[in-house]
Amino acid sequence: MRVLVAYGTKMGGTAGLAEMIAESLRRRGIEVEVRAAGPTVDPTPFDAVIVGGALYALRWHKHARRFVKRNASALLSKPVWLFSSGPLDDSAQESEIPPTKQVEGLMRLVDALGHVTFGGRLPADATGFPAKAMAKENAGDWRDPEHVDAWVSHVSEHLTRTAAHR
């Protein structure tokens, strides 16, 4: 079983989540490749795909959006999950946060099996507007490895069942 974890990120927080997801899958014996969701990434050789995008003003990172749209036909033929990175507080750990309307549309496009929102990260030295202004009040890291591992547990259970039926 080979899984691609592709992501779109601006400041690296979502890339870190993608690595956490990959490490959790590897601990469960699943082969994983983590890649930035660029135009040359091909999901075809993988058995399953997880795509993540940072949320900015309720919009998923453009590289994640474009990856899903560009590869929609290939993604329809395999298990797909999406994740979002965003809240700069503990809300993602306290309760399930539904996907934004934009992400819901992408889920329908590729018949995704699920979605999760993880806490985000904003470095104190963030640059650019509005990140620099937000960092004055909201700098921090709300990515929770336990939350990631619990979600990956559900994903890996599905992958294990899928592989057993082949």
Write down the mean pLDDT value for the chain: 90
Taking a C-beta distance cutoff of 8 angstroms, is the pair 5, 34 a contact?
Answer: yes
pLDDT value, residue 91: 84
Segment 140-148 mean pLDDT: 87
Range of lowest pLDDT (41-55, 61-75, 141-155)? 141-155
Instruction: Compare 148 and 133 and report the one with higher pLDDT.
Output: 148
pLDDT value, residue 123: 57
Q: What are the extents of the domains in the chain?
A: 2-164
DSSP state of 32: E
* Residue 19: pLDDT over 70: yes
Angle between helices 145-164 and 13-27 (to 10 degrees): 50
* Residue 29: pLDDT over 60: yes
pLDDT value, residue 132: 54
Segment 57-83 mean pLDDT: 96
Segment 112-117 mean pLDDT: 97
Is the model's pTM score more than 0.85?
yes
At residue 122, what are phi and psi to the nearest 5 degrees?
-135, 110
Taking a C-beta distance cutoff of 8 angstroms, is the pair 111, 78 a contact?
Answer: no
pLDDT value, residue 122: 58
pLDDT value, residue 145: 95
2-164: CATH superfamily: Flavodoxin domain (3.40.50.360)
